[in-house]
Copies of this chain bind each other. A is one copy, B any other.
Amino acid sequence: MGSTGVRIAIDAMGGDHAPGEIVAGALRAREELGVKVLLVGDSQQIEAALPPKINLAQVEIVSAEEAIAMDEEPLSAVRRKPKASINVAMDLVKKQQADAVFSAGHSGAAMAAALLRLGRLPGIDRPAIGTVFPTILAGKPVLILDVGANVDCRPKFLEQFAVMGSAYSQCVLGTNEPKVGLLNIGEEDSKGNDAAVRAHQLLRENSQINFIGNAEGRDVLSGNFDVIVCDGFTGNVLLKFAEAVGGVILQILREELPQGLHGQIGTALLKPNLKRVKQRMDHAEHGGALLLGVAGVCFIGHGSSQAPSVFNAIRMAKEAVDNKVLQRIQSQYQILQSESG
């Protein structure tokens, strides 16, 4: 595949398997998607992680002398280390030398660096972290936001999340008129805490989005919603629970299925099918998380990201750039502001 011209700045130092797996995923994306990858980090470590047969002239390494560790306080670390790989990657977007950033490093640091280096989109009070869950309907994922950037959310933040999430669902996930839900503890309009009741009303009155009502916990994976908005506390608990539950159930399957002779034979016959089940449930297959509301396309991977997740996240980033998701959010948001103004 030829170059599409999309340039992705990769924080090669971020993540448990950096730089090896990060570089491997990035090179695969370059190969298969035709994107240009800018590997940001310690040049020596990145070069050592390159496969021996690679043509060095084709790989662009952008040197960054520092990195932010997972246990550092994000805002102060981002301020104290201007040459950290995540900062240098964000700067490439700011200087229009890259179109998007990917990092599997400290997600708080990525958020802080994006805010400090790129700033927020006009009209957005708080950026959110969005993530895509698989649903019971194959090929019909749901975007959940916020999953951790804002532990407390005012109702108007949730409204902004809904507008941004709708734009993303249209541009990147290809959804026509995304169905938006508000995560809540009942279907009725009056359910939930004060913030939820007021957010429900704002969403109901917003003509820019297709708000179909409250989504309960049981509705998240139903496929009935394309976008679900929530505060970052509830969203983060839900995300981490959802990530773990697949593993728990696979563990139970591993323990229970091979019991008895029939069980052993049956399980052996099912090996490839069980692998397909795992893939369909695997959150990483769906491309990690994204920052919505900052003035740049920023994808963040799980700290445990390996090459396939890195590849998937870069694929999503390319889609976001190709389909002009930032411009879409901004134009929708301007209409929203002029309507309410």
Q: CB-defined interface of A137-178 with B at 8 Å, one 1/0 digit per residue?
A: 010000000001001100000000000000000000000000
Cβ contact within 8 Å between B185 and A236 = yes
- With contacts A234-B234, A276-B256 taken as known, whether A193 is within 8 angstroms of B251 at the C-beta atoms is no
* Listed stretches A33-41, A61-69, A212-220, A317-325; interface member: A212-220
Cβ contact within 8 Å between A221 and B248 = yes
Tell yes or no: A57 within 8 A of B by CB.
Answer: no
Cβ contact within 8 Å between A193 and B259 = no
Q: Bound state CA distance, A260 and B271, in angstroms?
A: 12
Tell yes or no: A335 within 8 A of B by CB.
Answer: no
| Interfacial chain B residues near A265, Cβ < 8 Å | 266, 269
- Residue of B217, B256, B263 near A237 (CB, 8 A) is B217
Q: Bound state CA distance, A56 and B262, in angstroms?
A: 46
Cβ contact within 8 Å between A260 and B237 = no
Cβ contact within 8 Å between A136 and B251 = yes
- Residue of B244, B260, B267, B276 near A218 (CB, 8 A) is B244
Cβ contact within 8 Å between B151 and A192 = yes
Q: CB-defined interface of A171-194 with B at 8 Å, one 1/0 digit per residue?
A: 000000000000101000000111
Q: Which residue of B lies closest to A243 (CB)?
A: B218
- Measured CB to CB, the closest approach of chain B to A70, in angstroms, equals 11
Tell yes or no: A273 within 8 A of B by CB.
Answer: yes
- Measured CB to CB, the closest approach of chain B to A315, in angstroms, equals 23
Cβ contact within 8 Å between A237 and B240 = no
| Interfacial chain B residues near A269, Cβ < 8 Å | 262-263, 265-266, 269
Cβ contact within 8 Å between B270 and A193 = no
22 contacts between A and B (CB under 8 A): A136-B251, A136-B252, A151-B196, A185-B232, A185-B233, A216-B240, A217-B242, A217-B243, A218-B241, A218-B243, A219-B244, A237-B238, A252-B280, A257-B273, A260-B273, A262-B269, A262-B273, A263-B269, A266-B267, A266-B270, A267-B270, A270-B270
A residues near B (Cβ < 8 Å) are: 135-136, 138, 148, 151-152, 183, 185, 192-194, 196, 216-222, 230, 232-234, 236-246, 248-249, 251-253, 255-257, 259-260, 262-263, 265-270, 272-274, 276-277, 280-281
The 6 closest A-B CB pairs, nearest first, are A217-B240, A266-B269, A217-B241, A218-B244, A266-B270, A151-B193
